[in-house]
Amino acid sequence: MGATTRKKVHRKFKMRGYTLKMEALEEVLSFLSRFEDAEEEAIDLLLDELEKESLKSSIIDRDSVHRVTSLLLEAEAAVEATAASSNRSPLRIIDAFVVPRFRYDSVKKTFYEHTGKLPLHGDASAKAALYRDRFELLLQRISRDPHFSKPVFDPEMIHSGNRSCEISSIQSLIGHTGRRWIMGVISQLEDGRFYLEDLTEAIHKVTTGFFVENTVIVAEGELLPNGTFQVNTCGFPPLEDRDETLAALVGLDFFGGGSLTMEETLRLSALEKKAVNDMFVILSDIWVDDEETMEKLATVLEGYENVEVVPSLFVLMGNFCSRPCNLSFNSFSTLRSQFGKLGEKIGSCPRLKEHSRFLFIPGPDDLGPSTVLPRCALPKYMVEELQMHVPNAIFASNPCRIKFYTQEIVVFRQDLLYRMRRSCLVPPSAEETSDHFEHLVATISHQSHLCPLPLTVQPIMWNYDHCLRLYPTPHTIILGDKSEQKAFKYTGITCFNPGSFANDSTFVAYRPCSQEVELSAL
């Protein structure tokens, strides 16, 4: 244990009014060595348990610490034994339509959960709420950023003449001169003319950056006498560290996997660390009506059937047909039987059928009520024959979410890169990177939204826009796209595109324990 951990322990104990003896500190460090990836949670849990003890003094000795750590380790061992004896999987698939909806109260500065049913067809107020909720989510996030928060009193700043980067409302710019920071949504209020709009007003002219209509940006500049805001620099709202977001949300479950106590998080972190053999195999564009694709898939399945430890999960994403299942499509019974043949292929691999789970996610051109997002799971009629061969198959929405121990993974199948490039108002800057996939990852991460495209380009159910949020930032984002296979780690978020299996024979093997991405191809 390094000096940093020692300082952290001393600081945390001091904040609770305790002083540690040297032997007690060594006992604490010995306990923490079991939870290297969750030190903060382990210290907090230890302190919580210590406070339940009837201590005679605020000076903590070794025996007091040892008594508490022993109880915690015994409890952990008992839970592990229970988990091992039961066949319960640590894997949970969360359908988009059950993700909780939270709205931000800008007056009380808090989130509250929507209760009751959400109609699929929203009214006009639901469309307005969609944009307002996206904006307020990012506004409350940036308000905690030290660079954009208002200084209470800073003599050094006053004497040096520096100014705060505090966000101003657009309405407040009127009658003021000098440099200001504003945050707004790029809106096309008139044909061919783009405005920057917040909850108060709108101003004209966005001049620089990699932006799409409806994205939220932060701009620094000055309001000219003619009403134009002359932008010097602009970009996306800064990201917030996941742990800081979770601390601010006070245990609210935005992901949908159920909120965990600190003790449960600590236990699951320890179990996750040991799950080194767990692997997910992700494939996109599984054309069941294409013989060559099915032969390639059979090769992949047979290969994994013969490995020592079979993958925990296969994620099979659409499109599941080589041509769009639109109004002109009339081969439904044939497609149903082709799904049945896919089930036969999986069923012919007994180890995979018994030990692996298969998750099916529809693509943008698959059978369904419409192309609007989120898309519901594949129709029951279409997959009944497949289920006869693979009883543990899971059919989920697009997007959907996966909870693996403490890991939060978002899966989205959409040809997003092409659409983002088509909708770009300004060519992306090549200063930091010229890789378009990296630009895409940065955009959706900073916007905290999977699909920040105009609703005219990609319709979204107004009442279910929250299902596409990336807040708090997940550990992993899987973007199934027909573009080239890619992987990119951005500010701690692992993001990858498995590529098109039907076209390029590419797929990904992913180890959630270490967030290791293995780009694979036949």
Contact of 45 with 10, CB cutoff 8 Å: no
- How far apart CA 383 and CA 393 sit, in angstroms, is 10
* pLDDT at site 375: 95
Residue 489: predicted pLDDT: 94
**Phi and psi dihedrals of 519, rounded to 5?**
-75, 120
Give the angle 456-461-465 at the CA atoms, nearest 5°. 100
Q: 3-state DSSP: the chain helix, strand, coil percent, rounded to 5?
A: 35, 25, 40
> What pLDDT is recorded for position 158?
39
SS3 assignment, position 464: helix
Q: What is the pLDDT of residues 331-351, one digit of tens each?
A: 899 999 999 999 999 999 999
Provide the pLDDT for residue 66.
86
| Burial grade of 427 (CB within 10 A; 0-12, 13-18, 19 or more) | exposed
**76-90, pLDDT tens digit by residue?**
665 555 444 333 468
Contact assessment for residue 294 and residue 288, using Cβ atoms and an 8 Å cutoff = yes
**Cβ contact 354:386 at 8 Å:** no
Q: What is the dihedral of CA 468, 469, 474, 479, to 10 degrees?
A: 40
Output the tens digit of pLDDT for each of the chain's 522 residues. 578 888 888 888 888 888 888 888 888 888 888 777 778 888 888 888 888 777 778 888 888 888 888 887 776 665 555 444 333 468 999 999 999 999 998 888 899 998 888 898 889 999 999 999 999 999 999 888 877 765 544 444 434 344 556 776 666 666 566 677 788 888 876 676 777 776 554 544 433 335 788 889 888 888 777 767 777 777 888 899 998 998 888 778 999 988 777 788 888 888 898 899 999 999 999 999 999 999 999 999 999 999 999 999 999 998 999 999 887 888 899 999 999 999 999 999 999 999 999 999 999 999 988 889 999 999 999 999 999 999 889 999 999 999 999 999 999 999 999 999 999 887 777 888 888 899 999 999 999 999 999 999 999 999 999 999 999 999 999 999 999 999 999 999 999 999 999 999 999 999 999 999 999 999
User: Are 507 and 283 spatial neighbours (Cβ–Cβ below 8 Å)?
Assistant: yes
pLDDT score for 157: 41
- What does the pLDDT read at residue 255? 94
Give the pLDDT score at 204: 44
Supply the pLDDT for residue 85. 39
Q: Could you tell me which of 123, 186, 91 has the C-alpha nearest to residue 513? A: 91
Cβ contacts of 300 within 8 Å, gap of 6 or more: 281, 283, 507, 522
pTM of the prediction?
A: 0.80
Query: Measured on CA atoms in the order 367, 504, 496, 213, is the torsion positive or negative?
Result: negative
The confidence score (pLDDT) of residue 434 equals 84
The predicted-structure confidence for 492-516, as pLDDT tens digits, reads as follows 999 999 999 999 999 999 999 999 9
Q: Would you state the pLDDT for residue 338? A: 96
pLDDT at residue 478 in the model: 98
Dihedral of CA atoms 109, 113, 114, 116 in degrees, nearest 10, equals -150
* pLDDT (0 to 100) of residue 452: 93
Residue 495: predicted pLDDT: 97
- Smallest Cα–Cα separation from 473: which of 212, 241, 218? 241
**Dihedrals phi, psi of 215, to nearest 5 degrees:** -80, 155
Phi, psi of 365, deg, nearest 5: -110, 15
